[in-house]
Chain A
Amino acid sequence: MGPGVRRAALAVAVAGLGTLAVGLALSPARALSSLLTSGFYFLCLGLGGAMFLALMYVANAGWFTVFKRIPEAFASYVPWGAVPLLALVPFAPKLYLWARPGIMETDHLLHKKAAFLNVPFFGVRMVLMLALWTGFTWMLRRNSLRQDTERTEAQTKRNVAVSAVFLVLFGLTFCLAAFDWLMSLEPHWFSTIYALYNVAGLLSSSVCAITVAAILLHRAGALPQLNSSHLHDLGKLMFGFATLWAYLWFSQFLLIWYANIPEETVYFIARMHGGWAVPFYLNLVLNWALPFLLLLPRPAKRSPAHLLRVAAVLLAGRWLDLHLMVAPANQPEGAGLGVYEVAAFLGVGALFTLAVTRAVRSAPMVPAGDPYLVESLHHHT
């Protein structure tokens, strides 16, 4: 990407986040909801890149090496992605019911949770989690770049160890993050599968974004080594994670539906009726039904143009899914795709684009020192 595109991305980031700053004065809850949705959306793409790398390292996978700089570049967005989320902390009372002044005195259930749900502890947890993720993504990237010059397998072994520790810590901290940042928007409600359901969304969307980036780089001539077998495997992962998402979505829904306990059903009642009903059902179509049917035939998973279309559907679906988790808490009356939602998505998205293109350009596209590179170049399914 040339300097023109970078300047444009910078302008979009400034314009988008500037609009949100204005929105903070006019319609604070909605502007903050939008920032949370998009901030979390792109942070998940970055974390998804790190998780993808870690999964491949611990599985001793060799097929992905040719495009591993893409998930690495995604992972290097994590410290940038921390900024929009940290910006929420001072405004927590406008976004989170439990942070509103005086609520603890009048709401007994929240009073019981006060030791955990309070702004200082919330901020401390957020800083610690973001710092932990930044540290691990930095280590994975540093070891991989060192290998370019060392050309031994020592750094691969080191990254396998880093990945194993990261996966365990990430599993625990990401659950906490999903509970903290998203589920606590409706602090009376709870669902134990909520975090896992979010992990499925994270995996599905980040595999889509990796596929899109790989195809675009291939088309631009920067990644000529990418072949249809790599795409086929990425397509299988898209298909599999979309189905995992549907499985977990339904697991959450079914248990709440048949138990029919008011403090649990309140979440779905708010979303299945009124203004949220259409996005609620659309969510299932975009995140599962459509991608499932579109990715079923084998040639579909090997066609770059087709994969781009399906990835666009899933990436839009992931945003809608997060929007449905976040927005109804402060906008119970109905859906909204207005100026703040668009501004937040474009603003944070431009930040993501800047960080990722910067990382892609700062290192050789193909990791020449990786012992798995030859296997990856000859990947055949």
Chain B
Amino acid sequence: MSARVLVGYFDSEEKVLDATRAVREAGYALHDVYTPYAVHGLDEAMGLKSSRLTWVCFGGGLLGGSLALALELYTSVVSWPLNVGGKPFNSFPAFVPVAFELTVLFAALITVGSFLARVKLFPGNRRVALPRVTDDRFAIALEAREAPSEASIAEELLRRHGAVETARMEVAS
């Protein structure tokens, strides 16, 4: 799948924030905004909804903690009970450190894995980044749905808000 977009390139984060707000106010559909680093306030300027990744993280933690407790309960109570210092086989305090570690491990790995899968960052994906957006350029990509004559109005809007260059292209959606 690919989408036709109009890309405007900017050379500072202030300009890209300003232009992002302006194109949204003018009613254009944002495809995405690309920046070399995380820009504070860009999520609000783009009108992004809060991420659902936090729930993935919470679920991953719950899963890790439950699996750890289940494993410990099975191995030390059901499968192979050992008398350690005369303590009960089912000793919750002893299970806590492993449950804690696996909670953190599962939460972290599942969150990072889900993020990479969601943004399609994995081996074999040959998508090419826009020129210089990993270096010193900030790019706004608008969905180019309009007729070419109207699209020039969008181009004009981007330039008025500081775009140093604009381009039409197909990008992977």
Contact = CB atoms under 8 A, between A and B. Distances in A.
Given A258-B85, A260-B85, A253 B50 contact: no
A116 interface: no
Contacts of B97: 254
A121 interface: no
B90 interface: no
A254 B54 contact: no
A297 B54 contact: yes
B54 A298 contact: yes
A254 B93 contact: yes
A156 B96 CA distance: 44
B82 to A, nearest CB: 14
B89 interface: no
A165 B58 CA distance: 40
Instruction: Bin chain B's interface residue count.
Output: 10 to 19
Contacts of B85: 258, 260
Contacts of A250: 93, 96
Interface string A232-260: 00000000000000000010011001101
Nearest to B84: A258
Nearest to A297: B54
Contacts of B96: 250, 254
Interface string A144-171: 0000000000000000000000000000
Interface string A292-304: 0000111100000
A298 B87 CA distance: 41
A257 B92 CA distance: 11
Contacts of A298: 50, 54
A380 interface: yes
A250 B50 CA distance: 34
B54 A380 contact: no
Contact of B40 (A254, A258, A380): A380
A298 B43 CA distance: 15
A260 B84 CA distance: 12
Interface string A255-290: 001101000000000000000000000000000000
B94 interface: yes
Contacts of B41: 380
A296 B93 contact: no
A250 B97 CA distance: 9
Contacts of A253: 93
Nearest to B41: A380
B54 A258 contact: no
A253 B96 CA distance: 12
Interface of A: 250, 253-254, 257-258, 260, 296-299, 380-381
Interface of B: 40-41, 50, 54, 58, 85-87, 93-94, 96-97
12 contacts: A250-B93, A250-B96, A253-B93, A254-B93, A254-B94, A254-B97, A258-B85, A258-B94, A260-B85, A297-B54, A380-B40, A381-B40
Closest 7 CB pairs of A and B: A380-B40, A257-B93, A254-B93, A260-B85, A380-B41, A250-B96, A258-B94
